[in-house]
Chains A and B, each alone.
Chain A
């Protein structure tokens, strides 16, 4: 049921993508997303889609997993496709009352959808191939220059680690509570909006109570181990760049240059 949710869940593996340093992955992902929204040449869309598919294949994850991660955002994609379909001026194909569907609209809608799909697919690939711990370590390391201006990078990373650590726990807890209340004859998820909202109370109250209890216990446990955030903490796992990261950087560089060349020469 609820525990079947896969969004943002790490799939262990041993592919080059899995073995890359998380910092490198985040930086490359960021540049890729910027590229997806910057370059608007049709050949470039082809190259970027091919690149995305190549990386997914390289990661060894089932393609179905990636498609599943797009599913929750399906409606947003459809909505933006619809908007572009009717709001782009150009050669009309079809007219419905005041709305005009244009050929340019179809193309524009398709492009926007493709951009969204690529962005989501590649971001979820990052989540699928990087353990949450590595991810937050990487974020902390990337944000650490900001410490100089008083930005609490370590604390923020710690908070994120804890939050992510408790997502599966709380999902499991929610699942248990839902089942316990269903066993008491409650029909969660039935009826109209108000009935459903009211049906959530027997789930949310115990869930909040247990979340606070867990937070309290965790705080005590951390305190008991003399946790102090921030300065001078060393790491058990140092983050180091390996060959695979340089290869990835090199290949991505070639990819980026070819995009720029296509954009400005064709």
Chain B
């Protein structure tokens, strides 16, 4: 099962001088159980695209299937399908509103009709997951937290919905490097332990290189590539056309290959690059 987009087009403010085609005939598949990255320059349509995943925006043309159900319909089945997709928007801390953190995280589960006991259980789980100690933080105001903690509390608010598909729009924007790494590790754990399918929106190619199984490149509302990372990163031209950069590791590897080191040049993560370089050197008999 998967999220399938078929020939999606979306126009902002149709029939006005500001009319703008944000998405142009997009057909992609987000396979279940994988981490899919969507990359693109600012204004490429990433954020518009993900709002289609749970029906926040209705496409001007095309259909969206979540686990085979058309979410554009108006029946309970479609509603249930929409709820399988949880979206963490950019700067999610701006959606916090309740008096206490636990109340804020309960907002989602209560809305979808969980019992109080169930909700409490989900809140505890979600808070544990983002490393917010329940006993210490549950009854504090979310507005007293630090920036990073607010972000985690807001993410817990989505996790408490226990979505099958979790969409993350630049989840690490504005965090320090340490916080970034820690947060991405949490999502990786979520993916590994619960099998949650993750869609990661980013223009940070280093992040994408280390986490994604599958990469979709958007450029001016069109999909220019949909492939596994090694394939995507070998197409240097298309990447720079989309206004993106290769991951740092890949850039270094390309330089090495250009300067005569006989590496396979498939690596795009640090560990694999080290292996390739050692192997190449060994073949040369220098190591």
B259 at the interface (CB under 8 A from A): no
Choose one: A3, A182, A202; the contact of B56 (CB below 8 Å).
Answer: A182
Q: Which residue of B lies closest to A186 (CB)?
A: B111
B229 at the interface (CB under 8 A from A): no
Per-residue A-contact encoding for B84-110, CB less than 8 Å = 1, 0 else: 001101001011110000000001100
B15 at the interface (CB under 8 A from A): yes
Q: Which residues of A are found within 8 Å of B54, using beta-carbon distances?
A: 183
- A183→B56 contact, CB < 8 A: yes
Choose one: A4, A180, A210; the contact of B92 (CB below 8 Å).
Answer: A180
Q: Which residue of A lies closest to B85 (CB)?
A: A183
Choose one: A65, A173, A185, A210; the contact of B161 (CB below 8 Å).
Answer: A185
B84 to chain A, nearest CB (A): 12
Q: How many CB-defined contacts (below 8 Å) exist between A and B?
A: 57
Q: Which residues of A are found within 8 Å of B17, using beta-carbon distances?
A: 11-12
A6 at the interface (CB under 8 A from B): yes
- Residues A183 and B111 in contact in the complex (CB < 8 Å), given A65-B16, A177-B94, A206-B97: no
Q: Which residues of A are found within 8 Å of B108, using beta-carbon distances?
A: 184-185
- By CB atoms of chain A within 10 A, which of B92, B94, B107 has the most? B94
Chain A, 119-176, CB within 8 A of any chain B CB: 173, 176
B104 to chain A, nearest CB (A): 9
B157 at the interface (CB under 8 A from A): yes
- Residues A201 and B97 in contact in the complex (CB < 8 Å), given A185-B111, A186-B107, A186-B111: yes
- A4→B13 contact, CB < 8 A: yes
Q: How many Å lie between the Cα of A65 and that of B17 in the bound state?
A: 10
A64 at the interface (CB under 8 A from B): yes
B83 at the interface (CB under 8 A from A): yes
B118 to chain A, nearest CB (A): 14
Q: Which residues of A are found within 8 Å of B157, using beta-carbon distances?
A: 184
- By CB atoms of chain B within 10 A, which of A12, A64, A185, A186 has the most? A185
Choose one: A6, A183, A210; the contact of B87 (CB below 8 Å).
Answer: A183
Q: How many Å lie between the Cα of A183 and that of B112 in the bound state?
A: 11
- B16→A6 contact, CB < 8 A: yes
Q: How many Å lie between the Cα of A205 and that of B22 in the bound state?
A: 30
The number of chain B residues with a CB under 8 A from chain A is 25
Q: Which residue of B lies closest to A185 (CB)?
A: B111
B10 to chain A, nearest CB (A): 12
B114 to chain A, nearest CB (A): 10
B143 at the interface (CB under 8 A from A): yes
A179 at the interface (CB under 8 A from B): yes
- B89→A202 contact, CB < 8 A: no
A181 at the interface (CB under 8 A from B): yes
- A185→B97 contact, CB < 8 A: no
Count class of interface residues, chain A: 20 to 34
Q: Which residues of B are found within 8 Å of A12, using beta-carbon distances?
A: 17
B158 at the interface (CB under 8 A from A): yes
B51 at the interface (CB under 8 A from A): yes
- B161→A179 contact, CB < 8 A: no
Q: How many Å lie between the Cα of A252 and that of B284 in the bound state?
A: 88
A209 at the interface (CB under 8 A from B): yes
Q: Which residue of B lies closest to A179 (CB)?
A: B56
Q: How many Å lie between the Cα of A184 and that of B107 in the bound state?
A: 7
Q: Which residue of A lies closest to B112 (CB)?
A: A185
Chain B, 151-182, CB within 8 A of any chain A CB: 157-158, 161
- By CB atoms of chain A within 10 A, which of B13, B87, B95 has the most? B95
Q: How many Å lie between the Cα of A11 and that of B18 in the bound state?
A: 9
Q: How many Å lie between the Cα of A166 and that of B145 in the bound state?
A: 27
Q: How many Å lie between the Cα of A176 and that of B89 in the bound state?
A: 8
Per-residue B-contact encoding for A208-233, CB less than 8 Å = 1, 0 else: 01100000000000000000000000
- Residues A202 and B107 in contact in the complex (CB < 8 Å), given A11-B17, A180-B92: yes
**A–B complex contacts, Cβ < 8 Å, 25 sampled:** A3-B12, A4-B13, A6-B16, A64-B15, A176-B94, A177-B94, A177-B95, A179-B51, A179-B56, A180-B87, A180-B89, A181-B95, A181-B107, A183-B54, A183-B87, A183-B158, A184-B95, A184-B107, A184-B111, A185-B83, A185-B112, A186-B107, A202-B97, A209-B94, A209-B143
Inter-chain pairs besides A4-B13, A173-B94, A183-B54, 15 sampled, C-beta below 8 Å: A3-B12, A3-B13, A65-B16, A177-B94, A179-B51, A179-B56, A180-B87, A180-B94, A183-B56, A184-B157, A185-B83, A186-B107, A202-B97, A206-B97, A209-B94
